[in-house]
Structure formats: C-alpha cells, structure tokens
A = this chain, B = another copy of it.
Amino acid sequence: MNSQNQNTIDVFFNPKSVAVFGSLRELPGTAFWVIKNMKAFGFSGSIYPINPEPAKYNEVMGLKVFSHLNECEGTVDLVVIITPPPTIPDIVRECGQKNVKAVIIMSEGFAEAGKEGEYLQNQATDIARRAGIRIMGPNTFGSVNTSNGLVTVPPYVDNEKLEKGGIAFCSQTGSIGPHQMPLSDWAYPLSKMCDIGNKCDVDETDMLDYFADDSETSVVAMHLEDVHDGKRFMEAARNLTSRKPLIILKTGRTEAGARASASHTGSLMGRDHIYDAALKQAGAIRVNTWRELWEVPKTFYYQSLPAGNRFAVVTFTGGQGVIAADAAADAGLTIAEFKQTTVDKLSAYFHRLGNNPVDVGPAMSDSRSQSASNPFAVVEDVSVIVLNDENVDCATITFHAGNQMITFFPEFLNMMDRITDGVSKPVNIWLYGTSLSAMEDLSRQFQSRGYPAYMDLDIAIKSLGYAAYYSKTRLDGNMV
C-alpha cells in the first residue's frame, strides 16, 4: 500500500485517454471491438485507434486512425494492444517515448505458449520497466470500471449495461467480464474488474493494495492460481482484510488441479495446505466454487457485518428449515435460541410458531392469519418479531416467485424495508419458485434495494456464516 502503486494502477481504471493498437476489422477479438465496447459502455475519455495502415481506414466509428502513438495530440494514459506477440516490444518502446503510464497487453501467445513467447514477454516487460510503464497481462481481457464506462474487452458484448456497486473482482482467468458472464442479467454490483493474465508486471498483490485504498470498492473477490511473492501478498492481504472483506477462490487445490495449473501458467505447484493456512492467517475468506466466488460477496456488500453467529431462518416448509439448519451448522452458525418474549409473541401470533428455524407454512395456510391483499404478510409479521430478538445476529428470509406473483413484487420490496427497519443485522433472501425469469427479476429488484438474494439456500446461509467469521476474525485479530 503505497501511493506510488495506487497512482500507477489507477491508470488502468481511470485513464483520460486510451489508444488501441490492433486490427480495425469488425471481427471478434479485434481492436475494433475494444473501441466499440468502450463507446457503447459510455467511456467519455479520448480514444485513439492505432493501425499501421491508417489510410485503409481513415476513420473508425467517427475516430481518426493514427499509424503511430506520437501522432496523437495530447497525452495518452492507457494503451491497449491486440497485435501479434513479435510486434509488441516495439509498441511498448513507442509507449515509452509517448510517456504512456499503463499498457494492457491483451494478445496471447507469450509465456503461457512456450519459450519463444516467454522471451518476447520478458523483452516487453524489461522495456516497460525501464520506461516506467506498468503492464497488465499479457493474455488478458483487461479492465472494467463501472463508474466511467471503461470496458476494454475485445469480444462482442450482449448487454452494454453494468450495475455500479462496491464489489471489485480480480481474476487469473479470462472467463470473467461482461462478454463472459451474465453480469447485466444479475445486475451484479461491481466497482472494478480485471483479469491479470500472465502477470508479467501487475500482479495479485498490486491489485490487493489498489483495492484496499479504492474508495469505490468495499468488498474484494479474487480468483487466484498462484502467488508471485508470498511475503508481499500476505502483507497486502492483511492490510486489506483489516479494512475490507477479501473472498478468494484459490484453485489448484488438489494435486490434479495444481498439475493443470502448472501446465498452463508455468507456475510452480504450491502445496495447498500452505495456501490454506496463509489465507486464513491473512484474514481472507476462502471459497471452493466459482458460484460461491460470485455469490458470497453480495451479502458482504449489501449488508452490515453480524455481531455474532446466532442465526435465524424463516422458511415456508419444515423440510426447508432442516436443510437450513444443516447448512447453518456447516457454515459455523448456531441456530439462535429465541428469548422467551419472542417465543411468546410468535406463538400468540400463531399457535404452531415459536421454534427456530421458523416454518411459516402452517400460519400462511391458516385463513385467520392470511391477508387478503398479500399472501406473504405472515412473513413480514413473523420476520419483524424474529429480527428484533437480541439473541439473533443474522437471518435468511424466504420468498417465492412465480409469474402469478409478479404483481406482488413491489410489495415484497416494501416488506423487506419494513422488516429491516431499525434493525442493523445482516439479512439475506432465499428465493425459489416456479419461473426462472420471475425469480431472476425479483432477485434483481431485491438487490437494487440492498437485499442480497440467492437461488441456493445453502449459499445464502454460507454467506452469512462467512460474514460472521470475518466479523469475528477482525475483532479477535485486533486489526487496524
């Protein structure tokens, strides 16, 4: 964490001007698409297309094409390169002459491809270092910043809308980004995103330092295959986790995974138990699946941290309550024992209530407690009682979505506002139902109101378990 690093990395996300080297033909993976995507996502800085045959194009999307960087007026902050590997050292040299600060080498065919590529990668890295240029990549899809519309990815993108939020994502695989994942359909609350690729310069530790200080980021999620420098990484991770949660999917856990990793990154196989202990010591949360890497940060982002691990859950059937209790135990949560006043209030509300997990099914099908206007009014009444019990630190509440219930969705949101009114405990939602599109729509709506919604009960509960764990390690560790 030094301001030098902060400034140099920030150019990858907040450049005022971007030059793009590569083909301007309208084919997937070209500079054409990088420029098209930047414009489509609303990036308002200057964009300079650079191509050795400017005469062939003259203009692209209203932008003048240059043959060299030194022809661009004014400064160029960030350069994106999608040209064949042998051309790249010279382009990086050209960047140095123009005082460019940051370069994304998107092309592949470097260290990951063999000796020849490794040589070119080292050459480009040396030139950049001497010129004071930071490199992201090679073999990367670059960076995304939801607050200024910077999206450097070269393939076609389905949906040019990204939700602005506080979760930063850093990955060692190119399977992230708006051209790879349904970020828009999820309305995923993203601050910034990057794929660090071959990590010839910018690595995971640089990104931890950057995100620790980034005021737009409150939660960091990271996919990691290896760590360049264990000591630096541990310092950066500890610093970050003393301020923000860090969720990590470290792959190559198993011998087979480590071998697969070595074969495509050339990185050394690390013994997993060492990573596991180190991540724990650094206060990071280690998840095991790709789905969890995306799902767990949502509870951290949308909700506060729990004061303890005493968990309550409101379900629609007793069977769901048992599944929830199992998931809670797995996640390190205990099923909260309600105070006697809560038990009394619940059983006065409906005679079969009073236990935790709270099965509201019987009360919902009882005509006396059924509201004519909202079949789920019971969920509100019961959840208010439960969340105000001081023995409860966190909770998951169930909703059901089908096409016939779409008219109730606005009321579901209001219910959650009333349920959580005056309560500073994390609450998330488990959502199931009969229509995928209705479920996805309700999920987006809940999240736009600040309530993390999950299609898997066990992942909803696991997320709260991690939140309780993080909350406790912060307190125990006396971190800054």
What residues on B are CB-neighbors of A365 within 8 Å? 29, 108
Q: How many copies does the complex hold?
A: 2
List of 5 A-B pairs having minimum Cβ-Cβ separation, nearest first: A173-B319, A264-B318, A254-B329, A257-B326, A260-B325
A133-160: CB near B (< 8 Å → 1, else 0) gives 0000000000000000000000011110
**Contact check: which of B251, B265, B321, B436 meets A436 at CB < 8 Å?**
B436
A427-440: CB near B (< 8 Å → 1, else 0) gives 00000111111111
Kindly state whether residue A178 has any CB partner on chain B within 8 Å: yes
Chain A count of residues within 8 A CB distance of the other chain: 83
In the complex, the answer to whether A434 meets B319 with C-beta atoms within 8 Å is: no
The closest CB in chain B to the CB of A141 belongs to B317
Most B C-beta atoms less than 10 A away, residue of A291, A316, A402: A402
In the complex, the answer to whether B175 meets A291 with C-beta atoms within 8 Å is: no
A365 to B154, CA, bound (A): 12
- Interchain residue pairs with CB less than 8 A apart (23): A112-B318, A113-B362, A156-B402, A156-B404, A157-B434, A159-B403, A172-B319, A175-B316, A182-B434, A182-B436, A185-B437, A253-B326, A254-B330, A256-B335, A257-B322, A257-B329, A259-B325, A261-B325, A263-B355, A264-B319, A289-B456, A289-B458, A290-B323
In the complex, the answer to whether A175 meets B325 with C-beta atoms within 8 Å is: no
In the complex, the answer to whether B434 meets A180 with C-beta atoms within 8 Å is: yes
In the complex, the answer to whether A359 meets B264 with C-beta atoms within 8 Å is: yes
What residues on B are CB-neighbors of A290 within 8 Å? 323, 456-458
How near does chain B come to A459, taking the closest CB pair, in angstroms?
9
Kindly state whether residue A238 has any CB partner on chain B within 8 Å: no
Kindly state whether residue A54 has any CB partner on chain B within 8 Å: no
Most B C-beta atoms less than 10 A away, residue of A113, A251, A323: A323
